[in-house]
Structure 1
Amino acid sequence: MILLKQMIILFFVMLLGFMMARKKIIDRKVSKSLSWITVNIANPALILSGSQGNSIEKKEMLFLIVLAFGMFLFLIIMAEIIIPIFRPDNSEKGVYKVLFVFSNIGFMGFPIISSVYGSKGLLYGSIFLLPFNILIYTYGIMCMSKQKTGIKQKLIKLFNIGLIAGITSLVFAVNKVTIPNVAGQLITMLSALTAPLSMMVIGASFTEISIKQIFCDIRLLIFAILKLVIIPLIGIVMIKCITSNNILQGVCFIMLATPSGSMVAMMAEQYNGNYITAAKGVALTTVLSVITMPLLFAVMGI
C-alpha cells in the first residue's frame, strides 16, 4: 500500500510535467534549466539534509558505510560486465550503466523504509545517500559525458557541488555536527524541490516518448527485469551472509529493488547523455516496480 501511494504521487507529478510540456510551458530550454537546478542545488541540499538529526555509534557507522559502498561497487562491477552484453549504441552505453547502478532510493525508497522499519531503518537508509551521491557525481558523470578529456580535466569536473555536499554530509554525520537552525531550514526547503522538479522533467520528456516505444523495446524490457528482479535477489542473498540485522537486510533489499532513479535522467539532461533512453528506462522501471517490489518482498519474506 505504501509503495502504491508513492507511485500515485509520482505519477501525478509526472503527469503535471507532461501537461505543462504539451502546453509548451516546459520546453527543452526550460527542462534543461530545471535539470540544472535539480542537479546543482536541490539534490546537493538533499544530500546535506541526510546528516541532520542523525546519531549513530562510529563503529556501526563505519560498518554501514563500508557495506553501502560495497553494494554500489558490486553494482558497478555488474554493470561493467553485463551492459556490454546488451550491445547498446555508444550513446546509450553510459546511460544503461547509470540506470543499472543508481536506483530511486530517495524518492521511493525512503517512504517505504520509514513506514516498514521506522526511524531506525530511515537512519540506516540515509547512509546509502553518501555513496549514491558521491558516485553519481563521479562515476555517473564519467558514464554520461560525451566529451573526451584528460585525467586532469576529469578530476576538475568531478570535484563539483554534489561531491562536496556528499563529503560534507559524511563529515557532519561522523562528527555529529549540528547544523544551525536557519541553515537547516534552508537546506530542508531546497531539498524538497528535488522530487517535484525531477518528476516534472521526467513527465515533460514523455511528450518525446510513446508508450509503444517504452514497452516494445525488448532490450529495455530485459534490462528492467534484470535490474528489478535478478539483481535484488542475488544482492539480498549476499547481504544475508554479511549481516543478521533484519532491519538492515530489509533496507538493503529496498535499495536494490527500487526502480532506476529519476536523477539519471537529470544527469543525462545536464551532461548531454542520451536523455530519451534515460527517461524511457526510468519510466519503464518505475511502472514495473509496482509489480516487482511487492512480489519480491512476499517471496523473500522481508
Structure 2
Amino acid sequence: MDLTLILNQVLILFIIMLTGFAAGKAGIIDSTGSKKLGEVMLFVTSPMMVFKSFFISFSTERLINILWIMGMASFMFLLSILLSKLIYGRFPEDKAPILRFCAIFSNCGYMGLPVMHALYGDDGVFYGSFYIVCFHIVLWTYGYVMFGGQGTKRQIIRKVFTNPSIVAVYVGMVVFLFGIPIPEPIESAVAAVGNMTMPISMLIIGAVISSAKLRDIVSDWRVYLSASVRLVLMPLLALALTRIPGIPDLPAAVLVTALAMPAAANTTVFAEIFNKDAVFASKCVSVSTLLSIATIPLVVSLI
C-alpha cells in the first residue's frame, strides 16, 4: 500500500479539521451548529454514502467477503469487550464506562468510511458498511446497557435496526442482490450527497476540539492510556487476526482500518445522556482524534 497516498489522505482530513477548529474559534460553528451538522450527517450524508457503495455488480466473491468482514468484526468486538473489562476494571464508575466505550467503539462511520473510500474506493465503503452493521448492533445493545441505558428488548431492537445507515444497507442489499439499475441522475445525486460525509465530519470534530482548553486536555494521563488502547492495541490485534491464512485481502484491510480510527463520537453523547463525566469523554475523543493523524498512516501502512 502506498504510504504517500495514506499520508495525503490523512493530511486532507487534518486540514479540513483545522478549518473546523478555526470556524469553531470564530463562533461560526457553535454547539448548535455542530449538532445540526451532525444530524445532517447522521440522517442524510452517511446513509447516502453507504447506499452509493452498493451500486456495484453482484458476485459470489463479494458475498463471501461480506461473511468474512462480519465474522471478523464480531470476533473483534467480543475481544475488545473482554480486554476493556480487564484493562479498566478497577477505574472509578464515572470513568470506567467511558474508557471501555472508547476501547470498544471506533469512529468507523464518520471518519472511517471517508478514509476507506479514499484508500479502497467504493468496494472499501461496501465492506465497511457491514462492519458498521455490527457496530450499531453492539452499540445499541451492549454499549447502551453498559452506560446504564434501559428499555425493553423491542425498544433496543428498534434503535438498532432503524438507524439510517442500517436502513441504507437494507435498500442497498436489494439493489446489489437483484442487480437493479440506478438511473444516472439518481446515482450522481446520491454520490454528491454521500461525498459530503468526510468534510462535514472533520468540520464537526475540529469545531468540538476548539471548545476545549488545551491544558485540560493534555494534562490527564488517562486519556493517553485510552488513546493507546484505541489507536494501537486494537488495530494491531486486528492486524494479527488478518494474518490467518485464507482471509481475503480487502475485508482484512477494511477491518484494520475501521479499528485504527479514533474513539467514537458517540462516547461524549452517551456520557452526557447517562450523567457520566462528559468532559472527560470529550477529552478522550479529542486526544484520540488528534493522535490518530499520526497513528492511522502507520497502522494502515502495515496492512
TM range (shorter): 0.7 to 0.9
2:200 to 190, 197, 202: 197
What is the aligned partner in structure 1 of residue 119 from structure 2?
112
* 1:38–1:197 contact (8 Å) kept in structure 2: yes
What is the aligned partner in structure 2 of residue 128 from structure 1?
128
Deviation at 1:131, TM superposition (A): 3.0
In the alignment, residue 68 of structure 1 is paired with which amino acid?
I
Unaligned runs of 5+ in 1: 115-121
Three-state SS of the structure 2 residue aligned to 1:241 is coil
CA distance in 1, matches of 2:73, 2:255: 11
What is the aligned partner in structure 1 of residue 72 from structure 2?
71
Deviation at 1:43, TM superposition (A): 0.7
1:173 to 152, 173, 176: 176
Deviation at 1:31, TM superposition (A): 1.6
- Let me know the Cα RMSD of the aligned residues: 3.1
Deviation at 1:46, TM superposition (A): 1.0
* Closer/same/farther in 2, CA of residues 281 and 195 from structure 1, 3 Å limit: farther
In the alignment, residue 104 of structure 2 is paired with which amino acid?
F
Q: Work out the percentage of aligned pairs sharing the same amino acid.
A: 21
CA distance in 1, matches of 2:218, 2:151: 36
CA distance in 2, matches of 1:244, 1:152: 35
In the alignment, residue 149 of structure 1 is paired with which amino acid?
G
2:104 to 73, 82, 100: 100
* 2:124–2:254 contact (8 Å) kept in structure 1: yes
CA distance in 1, matches of 2:199, 2:100: 24
Three-state SS of the structure 1 residue aligned to 2:230 is helix
Q: How does 1:215-294 map to 2 (within 5 A)?
A: 215-243=218-246, 245-246=248-249, 249-256=252-259, 258-260=260-262, 264-265=264-265, 268-269=268-269, 276=279, 279-294=282-297
* 1:99–1:260 contact (8 Å) kept in structure 2: no
What is the aligned partner in structure 1 of residue 82 from structure 2?
81
* Closer/same/farther in 2, CA of residues 136 and 69 from structure 1, 3 Å limit: same
Q: How does 1:24-39 map to 2 (within 5 A)?
A: 24-39=27-42
CA distance in 2, matches of 1:238, 1:139: 20
> Over residues 38-59 of structure 1, what are the superposed CA-to-partner deviations in whole Å (9 max), with x where a residue is unaligned?
111111111101111x22422x
What is the aligned partner in structure 2 of residue 42 from structure 1?
45
CA distance in 2, matches of 1:271, 1:49: 32
Moved more, 93-102 or 10-19: 93-102
In the alignment, residue 52 of structure 2 is paired with which amino acid?
S
* 2:238–2:256 contact (8 Å) kept in structure 1: yes
Three-state SS of the structure 1 residue aligned to 2:181 is coil
CA distance in 1, matches of 2:81, 2:222: 17
* 1:72–1:101 contact (8 Å) kept in structure 2: no
* Closer/same/farther in 2, CA of residues 89 and 181 from structure 1, 3 Å limit: farther
* 2:76–2:238 contact (8 Å) kept in structure 1: no
Unaligned runs of 5+ in 2: none
Q: Does 1:61 align with 2:73?
A: no
What is the aligned partner in structure 2 of residue 119 from structure 1?
none
Three-state SS of the structure 1 residue aligned to 2:262 is coil
With the length of structure 1 as denominator, give the TM-score of the two structures: 0.80
1:149 to 151, 154, 162: 151
* 1:64–1:124 contact (8 Å) kept in structure 2: no
What is the aligned partner in structure 2 of residue 117 from structure 1?
none
Deviation at 1:225, TM superposition (A): 2.1
CA distance in 2, matches of 1:32, 1:64: 35
* 2:10–2:297 contact (8 Å) kept in structure 1: no
* 1:79–1:97 contact (8 Å) kept in structure 2: no
CA distance in 2, matches of 1:297, 1:24: 35
In the alignment, residue 101 of structure 2 is paired with which amino acid?
K
* Closer/same/farther in 2, CA of residues 65 and 276 from structure 1, 3 Å limit: farther
CA distance in 1, matches of 2:190, 2:95: 35
